[in-house]
Chains A and B, each alone.
Chain A
Amino acid sequence: MEEKIKNILEKILQQDFSQKDLKEINMETCKNWDSLAHLKIIISLEEEFDTEIEPDEIYLMKEGALKIKEIIEDKLK
């Protein structure tokens, strides 16, 4: 799952995260991660994991990649 999330983030944020830990990837460390990019990430996550992400979860996911992973894991349980 971590790889899939990284792939989505790399594609949308146009940045290489192969050497980065999920906890290092967030809106503060990625200059391209603005609100539009965030929504595109959400839509890609929904497609990739065949799930629907609710507005409150979209908000929480702004914390960064690690939070994204936690929420997606929780949803797929």
Chain B
Amino acid sequence: MNKQELLTLPRLHKEINTCTDDNLNMICEKLSRIYSLSFYDLWDFSFNNNEEISEKIYLTNEINYANLKKFTGIILEDQQFNYWESTIKSIKESLKNNNPIMIHMFRRLFPWDVNYMKENVPDFFVHKAMAIDINEKDILFTDGYCNKFNEYLSIEQCEKSTTNKLTKIIIENSIDVDLKEFFKDFKNNQKNKQYIFKNIEKFSIELQKEKIIEQMNKYKGDIYMYSPMNNSLNKITRSRKKIKKLLEDLGKNLSNNKILELSKEFDKSIIYWEYVNLLFEKYSLTLNKSNLEKCSKYLIEIVEIEKYLYKKLEGIDV
């Protein structure tokens, strides 16, 4: 990607995207690649009986580097530095080679973030902004997540705001994905994920137990979005939205109405996951157990809905 291409990346912010997704999605749009193909593995739900609440439910990496490389030709390389001097050196080197780079920033120290200067935003809450141009004084940010326009940030401010973590973006010149083969693989991959339904059921039962309730109660009074379980549930809900988007893109590109229909039917699962999220968040604020009871009921309904969606997927041939 040359500098001119980088500077004219189509700015976007999609509701289903995290800040990393937005940045990568912008590059894919510019190169006419399908970003949603990297969501290949996201229809998932893992559950274990670990003691710690934060480890009970989880999702495979939301940004799967291997799938991203395979299906969009974008390679990500993380780097963590201890000092700003090394960070800025690496930023300059990357930009010199016409590679955009994601600079991880503390949200409360990033001027265009809604959480800028808000004291209650914890330090671990980082935001990734994409820099694509640099002079000796400023770095140009083209992040679509919170900036409405390309914005310059002084190098001094950047130094104050960064966590000194970088993600280099290397773009392969071309990528060849056969969408029919992709769909067949996606279908087969899902065949190996029958554990999802059992796991959601287990989670539904677990939610009624005193042990988990005690663990969750530790987060009462905390800002709900930082409690680990809410965080995981948010990711799970977003994953269903991403699968819907993947199917929508596949349906359109393969001109296949059955895939498009299935994509629309994912709304049923999404709305119920949203309800589970809401009730869970309500519980975090009120500790009223009736919210958890309702959560469990919705989870059981989700199992039936997702089983139905899986059956439908199984029946589609391309």
Q: Could you tell me which A residues sit within 8 Å of B by CB distance?
A: 36, 39-40, 42-43, 52, 55-56, 58-59
In the assembled complex, the Cα of A56 lies from the Cα of B275 at a distance in Å of 7
B194-224 interface (Cβ within 8 A of A): 223-224
| B-side contacts of A56, CB under 8 Å | 275
In the assembled complex, the CB of B286 is this many whole angstroms from the nearest CB of chain A, namely 6
In the complex with contacts A36-B223, A36-B224, A39-B224, A55-B285 CB distance below 8 A: no
B289 contacts chain A at the CB level, 8 A cutoff:
no
Contact with B278, one of A40, A52, A58 (Cβ below 8 angstroms) = A58
Decide: B286 and A52 in contact? CB cutoff 8 A: no
Chain B 224-257 against A: per-residue CB contact (8 Å), 1 yes, 0 no? 1100000000000000000000000000000000
Decide: A39 and B275 in contact? CB cutoff 8 A: no
- Tell me how many residues of B have a C-beta within 8 Å of chain A: 14
Sample 24 A-B pairs with CB under 8 A, ordered by A number.
A36-B223, A36-B224, A36-B225, A39-B224, A39-B278, A39-B281, A39-B282, A39-B285, A40-B285, A42-B282, A43-B282, A43-B285, A43-B286, A52-B290, A55-B274, A55-B275, A55-B278, A55-B279, A55-B294, A55-B298, A56-B275, A58-B278, A59-B274, A59-B278
Given contacts A39-B282, A58-B278, 19 further A-B contacts (CB under 8 A): A36-B223, A36-B224, A36-B225, A39-B224, A39-B281, A39-B285, A42-B282, A43-B282, A43-B285, A43-B286, A52-B290, A55-B274, A55-B275, A55-B278, A55-B279, A55-B298, A56-B275, A59-B274, A59-B278
Q: Could you tell me which B residues sit within 8 Å of A by CB distance?
A: 223-225, 274-275, 278-279, 281-282, 285-286, 290, 294, 298
| B-side contacts of A43, CB under 8 Å | 282, 285-286
Find the A residue at minimum CB distance from B225: A36
In the assembled complex, the Cα of A39 lies from the Cα of B291 at a distance in Å of 13
In the assembled complex, the Cα of A39 lies from the Cα of B285 at a distance in Å of 9
Find the B residue at minimum CB distance from A40: B285
| A-side contacts of B298, CB under 8 Å | 55
Find the B residue at minimum CB distance from A39: B281
In the assembled complex, the Cα of A43 lies from the Cα of B224 at a distance in Å of 14
Q: Which of A39, A40, A52, A55 has the most CB of B within 10 A?
A: A55
| A-side contacts of B278, CB under 8 Å | 39, 55, 58-59
| B-side contacts of A55, CB under 8 Å | 274-275, 278-279, 294, 298
In the assembled complex, the CB of B204 is this many whole angstroms from the nearest CB of chain A, namely 16
**7 smallest beta-carbon distances between A and B, as pairs:** A55-B275, A55-B278, A58-B278, A39-B281, A43-B286, A43-B285, A39-B285
| B-side contacts of A39, CB under 8 Å | 224, 278, 281-282, 285
In the assembled complex, the Cα of A40 lies from the Cα of B152 at a distance in Å of 36
Find the A residue at minimum CB distance from B290: A52
| B-side contacts of A40, CB under 8 Å | 285
In the assembled complex, the Cα of A39 lies from the Cα of B290 at a distance in Å of 16
Find the A residue at minimum CB distance from B272: A55
In the assembled complex, the Cα of A36 lies from the Cα of B281 at a distance in Å of 9
| B-side contacts of A42, CB under 8 Å | 282
| B-side contacts of A52, CB under 8 Å | 290
In the assembled complex, the CB of A48 is this many whole angstroms from the nearest CB of chain B, namely 14
Find the B residue at minimum CB distance from A46: B286
In the assembled complex, the CB of B299 is this many whole angstroms from the nearest CB of chain A, namely 13
In the assembled complex, the CB of A51 is this many whole angstroms from the nearest CB of chain B, namely 13
